[in-house]
Structure 1
Amino acid sequence: MAAAIAVFATVAPTATADIPEPGTTAQSVFNKPGPHPVATPVRTNPCQESVWGMVEHIVVHMLGNRDDMTCTQAFPNGLDSPIGVNTYYPADIAELPAAPLLVFTSGFGANPGMYDALARQWASHGFVVVIPYEFFNSLVYVPALGVATAVVAARDPNSPLYNKIDLNRTIFGGHSGGGQAALQAGTVFPGIASTIDPAMRVRGVLAIEPGPLAVGALVSVPTLFLTGYNDFVVPDFAWVRWWQYNLSFQAPAWIANARGVSHFSPVDGLDNYLHTGTALAWLRYQAFGDEVAKAYFVGPDWRLPADKTFFSVERNALANALN
């Protein structure tokens, strides 16, 4: 995010969703709160309460965002440590089976609180969500910090997440530089997961407008690339296709380019970020086997191509062969 601002300045399985009517969008079906209340120690405030946050606030609104962003006090938006991990989980997790883990990395220069609404939605649908951050948020050691935090919590008898994280259903996600880091994690972690924990298995990668320092040919787990028609920072026609999606031949991969989505839309409100429903549908499909969600991605009549939200959608041969 910071790099783009500089450029501008200089120039437990939840219930399966009801079967949607023909012509409905993933956004209208899945962009809804889940059945679980959310627990988190994270506290946010309007980003414009700091000088750095005010600059970010002005820029994203000039570039089309409609809602005000939220931030934590992590430096430079406040005086808290610039390095850490924010955790969200279902408040009723003690009554649920172990929950899948989503390790989501913020964009370059973005404050982790900007993804608070997304994290809360995912947690309300039964995920344990960890958001590791250290300002740059662009290399694999950042999601590794999230994994370490989750593993420690799952093994700590004093943690509410003790024995409540299902590492067998680990998904990496991220936006911009964080999407790049998530793809790097999808390259590195599948081969070493069992050495971290015998139960750990990487189920997929959610790469939202990812940076260029990742190669699709090296990712060995199912991957969804989300791009934006109005994104001039990570254009759909650039590296996200050239050496990421187009070179994804080890595992099923999808790419969806949404109309009206810019590079900063993921830090807008849930209703104004038009990929929100699609991201949740894919997560539910990968983590819970949700059949309605799966129908948007799998089968000869997969629903995503008919979804009017998208300018274009594609899937590779391995995704095409799924049933």
Structure 2
Amino acid sequence: MRSGVAIVVAAVAMLVAAPAVGADPPEPVPTAQSVFNKPGPHPVATPVRTNPCQESIWGMAEHIVVHLFGNRDDMTCTQAFPNGLESPIGVNTYYPADLAELPAAPLVVFTGGIIANPGMYDALARQWASNGFVVVIPFDFFNSLAYVPAIGVAAAVIANRDPKSPLYNKIDLSRTIFGGHSGGGQASLQAGTLFPGVAAAIDPAMRVRGVLAIEPGPLAVGALVSVPTLFLTGYNDWVVPDFAWVRWWQYNLTFQAPAWIANARGVSHFSPVDGLDNYLSAGTALAWLRYQAFGDDVAKDYFVGPNWRLPADKTYFSVERNALAGALN
């Protein structure tokens, strides 16, 4: 009798605990990619024109390499040599097409990877410009040292002072952020070392707000960087492994400024030149830019506070921040 009663009680308990038939499944926790990886409210203006990279012999070789590393989308390139016959040195510029109606916009100086064509970052630049940034992509083919972002800064300052430029008095140099991928990530860290101390001498309004270092090369030391820095790495990246220098002497030695590092599942070294849906840290990159430049509260929640959201983001295999970042509120 007792065993029969126990069986009945257990069955009732199971029925009570079981989800109702047809009940909606729990909502997935939103990731930075799902929240931020989308176009912003502004149309984009740029003189940059791109074409499929594989239209040139050099571009075809690059196309094959990135697809061997797992990229899914075809890259875009400009005609900068060796992908075409235009100058291998220059600056590509993107900005909100309605900038004349907006307050002055923050500046992102983004340097691509070594031997990368600047057009490979066209999608990222357009996304950032549509979110209210002026974006300059300086390039010289090697894209690995601080003089390359310096070229971008010079171009932005000149455009901001030129009455004939659509960017005249429309770049807020007090909200300048350096970013870069691979060799360009290394160059952005070098810029984050050199420019904060001399920014006012370049332009009285200029201030460096931070660095976005995507899978950076080894020629930069975190101990020398004095502005907030986000390191984005990839779990499938064997060119810049998360466990190598990007931690040893970059993130781990960043003690002068807040720093974060996020290692994304399914991301290889060439994912940043893939389509934005297939570069799984594209949303996090934009969130960090919006947090630093606009103080966006939704973006800030992913990086700041005791319940910061990035560690719960299933995109990432691991996420860390240093003590200075942990002390922010």
Same fold (TM over 0.5): yes
Following TM superposition, by how much is the alpha carbon of 1:65 offset from its aligned partner in structure 2, in angstroms?
0.3
Paired position in structure 2 for 1:112: 118
Deviation at 1:22, TM superposition (A): 6.7
Match of 1:252 among 228, 237, 258: 258
Q: Pick one of 237, 240, 243 that aligns with 1:234.
A: 240
- Following superposition of structure 1 onto structure 2, how do residues 136-285 of structure 1 map, counting pairs within 5 Å? 136-285=142-291
* TM-score, with length taken from structure 1: 0.93
Query: Following the alignment from structure 1 to structure 2, what is the Cα–Cα distance between the partners of residues 41 and 270?
Result: 21
Q: Secondary structure at the match of 1:166?
A: strand
Residue identity over aligned pairs, in percent, reads 88
The 2-side partners of 1:30 and 1:291 are apart by: 13
Question: In 2, Cα distance between the equivalents of 1:228 and 1:62?
Answer: 16
Aligned residue for 1:281, secondary structure, equals helix
**Structure 2 partner of 1:98:** 104
1:266-305 equivalence runs, <5 A: 266-305=272-311
2:5 maps to which residue?
Answer: none
Count of residue pairs brought into register by the alignment: 303
What letter is aligned with 1:208?
I
Equivalent-residue separation in structure 1 for 2:269 and 2:69 (angstroms): 9
Distance of 1:193 and 1:114 partners within structure 2: 29
Secondary structure of 1:246's counterpart equals helix
Alpha-carbon distance in 1 for matches of 2:301, 2:308: 5
SS in 2 for 1:230: coil
Secondary structure in 1 matching 2:253: coil
RMSD: 0.6
- Residue by residue over 1:107-166, the C-alpha shift from the partner in whole angstroms, topping out at 9 and shown as x without a partner, is 000000000000000000000000000000000000000000000000000000000000
CA displacement at 1:169 relative to structure 2: 0.1
Residue of structure 2 equivalent to 1:309: 315
CA distance in 1, matches of 2:118, 2:269: 16
Higher relative contact order (CA 8 A, sep 6+): 1
Q: Deviations over 1:229-265 (max 9, x none)?
A: 0000000000000000000000000000000000000
TM-score, normalised to structure 2, is 0.92
Partner of residue 320, structure 1: 326
Aligned residue identity for 1:97 = P
Deviations 1:78-119 (A, max 9, x none): 000000000000000000000000000010000000000000
Displaced runs of 4 or more, over 4 A: none
**CA–CA separation in structure 1 for the residues paired with 2:86 and 2:200:** 34
User: Structure 2: which amino acid aligns with 1:304?
Assistant: L
Structure 1, unmatched stretches of 5+, are 1-20
Opposite residue 259 of structure 2, the aligned amino acid is A
Deviation (angstroms), 1:67? 0.2
**Unpaired segments of 5 or more residues in structure 2?**
1-26
